Amino acid sequence: MMDFDRREIGWAASETPISYPAAVSAMEARAAEIHAGAASELVWLLEHPPLYTAGTSANPADLKAPDRFPVFQSGRGGQYTYHGPGQRIAYVMLDVKSRFGADVRAFVAALERWLIDALAAFGVKGVVRPGRVGVWVIDEADPSKEAKIAAVGIRIRRGVSFHGVSLNVDPDLTHYGGIVPCGISDHGVTSLAALGRETAMKSVDSALRAAFERQFGPTALARAPIGDALAPAPTSNS
């Protein structure tokens, strides 16, 4: 766990799917409040209806089915990605400047370690690869094959982060067929369900929260900006 500031970070969850534009608007407002010292840092868990987003490095040729789902331009880093039901989004609004200074790579690496730690609670070994942001799973039957299980895409404005990470719990993986995910065509995508692991979202949320606290510090239940539902506390054996 990072030994920066021990102040508690808000931890919130939305119970119903949140539209992408509404989520971005809420994140931007909260990030501005954090910068101004008017609100606490926040991790916001949610799901989106099926959609594609284009990061700042997206190649238009990687959008193979532009009419399949709504497509949104996003200010986050990265390329095209898919969001939809069964995928846990964690939007991370942290004062990165006070925690990591100007080292954005260290922040991204911390997010990846968080996801890897959470996956370990389900017996999944996540790995990172140079030049490929996110978390990957190696095929035990064929170690030359890897599939992405979690993505990372952030934006930092005035020292505060927004956007965040996505973890494939039990989404419809065929929905990724409309894009080249993150611009990488040599590897596939996977999920906890595809790996035969538990997919109860409450269990996933508890694992994410426990792993986040080990990496970033204590959290406190907070109200979600939209579609509020209090998130569960970590279990003692997480």
Rounded Cα gap, residues 92 and 161, in angstroms? 7
pLDDT (0 to 100) of residue 229:
60
How large is the average pLDDT for residues 25-34? 97
Q: What angle do CA 98, 103, 109 make, to 5 degrees?
A: 105
Tell me what pLDDT residue 194 has: 96
Is the predicted pLDDT of residue 235 greater than 50, yes or no?
no
Superfamily name with CATH number, domain 9-229: Bira Bifunctional Protein; Domain 2 (3.30.930.10)
Average pLDDT over residues 189-216: 97
Mean of pLDDT over the chain:
90
The H or E element that residue 146 is part of is strand 146-157
Determine how β-strand 188-189 pairs with β-strand 146-157: parallel
Tokens 């109200």, located at residue: 223
Neighbours of 101 (CB within 10 A): 12
Alpha carbon distance 202, 233 (integer Å): 10
Residues in CB range of 208: below 8 A, 6 or more apart: 45, 88, 90, 114, 118, 167
d(CA 164, CA 114): 12
Tokens representing 42 are 């926040």
Please state the rounded mean pLDDT for residues 180-202. 87
Annotated active-site residue in 26, 34, 71, 182: 182
**45 with 205: CB under 8 angstroms?**
yes
Is 182 catalytic? The answer is yes
Least confident of 51-60, 92-101, 195-204: 51-60
CB 224 within 8 A of CB 29: no
DSSP state of 10: E
Domain locations along the chain: 9-229
Torsion of the alpha carbons at 176, 180, 183 and 186, rounded to the nearest 10: 90
pLDDT at position 90, please?
98
Cα gap 58→158, rounded to integer Å: 23
Identify whether the C-beta of residue 192 lies closer than 8 Å to the C-beta of residue 198: yes
Query: Is residue 50 predicted with pLDDT exceeding 90?
Result: yes
Assess contact for 151 and 165: CB atoms under 8 A.
Answer: yes
Q: pLDDT tens-digit profile of 102-139?
A: 999 999 999 999 999 999 999 999 999 988 889 999 98
List C-alpha distances in Å: 176 to 6, 59, 208.
Answer: 39, 16, 23
Residue 44 confidence (pLDDT) above 60: yes
